[in-house]
C-alpha cells in the first residue's frame, strides 16, 4: 500500500521524506523534546537521518510503524510529528499496510484485534495552538478505520503534563500509573498509561488549530 496522507481541516498528516531530516534534527535539539523522549544525547544529524529513513520511511514498508509529519495546509509549515508503533501488538491488518497478513481467525469479529502505541511531538513554534490534539484525533480516527485497530495505547513518563493533556483532550482515557515501566536515560521511571478504543473516539469536531 502506498503511504497515505490524512486530511484534518487546517492540517494534514503526510508521510516523512528525506527533506524532513534537517527539521527533525532542529526540533530534536529542543530541551523540552530531550527532557522526555528517549533520543540519543548529544543528538547529531545522523540520528535524524536514521529516524526519517529507518523509523519513518522504511518501517512503514516493514509494517512496524506508521509515521506522519503534521503540516499546515495553507503554507506547508511543518508543525510536528505523530506516529503509531505497530510491532508490539498482534492482529494488525498487515494486508492493509501492504504486506502479508498475520495468521488469525477470519471474519469481521476479528477485525478489531490489533493495537498500537501512539507517540507525538510538536515543533516549539506550534505548541499551545491545539495542533497536537487535532493531529492525534486525526491519526486515531484514521487508524481505527483504515487499519481496523481495536486499541490505541498512550504512555508517558510521570510528569510529562503536556503529553497527558494532549492525550486526554484527544479522547484517551487515563488508566493507571505503571511503576518503573519506562527506561529513560538509563534509569527506570514510572509511567502514565491511557488508551482509546473505537467506540470512545470523540464524535465532536477536533480542536481548532490557532494561527
Q: Is residue 120 part of a domain?
A: yes
Q: Is residue 79 included in any domain, yes or no?
A: yes
- 4-29 pLDDT per residue, tens: 999 999 999 999 999 999 999 999 99
Residue 147, in any domain of the structure: yes
Least confident of 105-114, 151-160, 200-209: 105-114
CATH of the domain at 19: 3.40.630.30
What's the pLDDT at 202?
79
Candidate from 10-14, 27-31, 37-41, 205-209 with smallest mean pLDDT: 205-209
Q: Evaluate whether residue 142 is within a structural domain.
A: yes
Residue 130 lies in a domain: yes
**Separation of CA 198 from chain center:** 16
Residue among 35, 100, 26, 94 at smallest CA distance from 65: 94
User: So what's the pLDDT on residue 114?
Assistant: 86
In a domain, 208, yes or no: no
Tell me which residue range forms the domain holding 31. 6-98+108-153
Structural contact between residues 195 and 154, judged by C-beta atoms closer than 8 angstroms: yes
As a residue count, the chain comes to 211
Q: Quick check: is 122 in a domain?
A: yes
Half-sphere exposure of 70 (CA within 13 A, CB side): 28
In a domain, 19, yes or no: yes
The chain-wide mean pLDDT, for the chain, equals 88
Query: How many domains in the chain?
Result: 1
Give the integer Cα–Cα distance in Å for 55 and 59. 5
Cα 19 to Cα 69, 121, 189: the distances in Å are 11, 18, 35
Pairing of strands 6-8, 11-15: antiparallel
Report the C-alpha gap between 89 and 92 in whole angstroms.
7
| Least confident span in 7-11, 111-115, 117-121, 147-151 | 111-115
Amino acid at each position: 500500500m502506498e503511504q497515505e496522507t490524512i486530511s484534518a481541516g487546517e492540517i494534514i498528516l503526510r508521510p516523512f521524506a528525506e527533506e524532513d531530516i534537517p527539521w527533525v534534527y532542529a526540533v530534536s535539539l529542543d530541551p523540552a523534546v530531550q527532557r522526555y523522549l528517549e533520543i540519543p544525547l548529544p543528538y547529531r544529524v545522523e540520528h535524524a537521518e536514521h529516524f526519517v529513513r529507518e523509523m519513518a520511511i522504511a518501517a512503514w514498508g516493514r509494517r512496524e510503524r506508521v509515521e506522519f509529519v503534521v503540516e499546515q495546509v495553507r503554507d506547508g509549515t511543518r508543525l510536528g510529528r505523530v506516529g503509531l508503533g505497530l510491532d508490539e501488538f498482534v492482529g494488525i491488518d498487515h494486508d492493509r499496510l501492504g504486506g502479508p497478513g498475520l495468521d488469525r481467525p477470519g471474519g469481521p469479529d476479528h477485525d478489531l484485534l490489533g493495537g498500537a502505541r501512539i507517540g507525538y511531538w510538536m515543533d516549539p513554534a506550534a505548541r499551545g495552538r491545539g495542533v497536537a490534539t487535532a493531529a492525534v484525533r486525526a491519526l486515531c480516527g484514521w487508524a481505527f478505520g483504515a487499519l481496523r485497530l481495536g486499541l490505541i495505547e498512550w504512555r508517558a513518563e510521570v510528569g510529562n503534563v503536556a503529553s497527558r493533556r494532549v492525550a486526554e483532550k484527544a479522547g484517551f482515557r487515563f488508566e493507571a500509573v505503571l511503576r518503573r515501566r519506562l527506561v529513560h536515560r538509563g534509569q527506570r521511571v514510572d509511567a502514565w498509561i491511557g488508551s482509546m478504543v473505537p467506540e470512545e473516539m470523540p464524535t465532536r469536531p477536533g480542536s481548532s488549530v490557532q494561527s
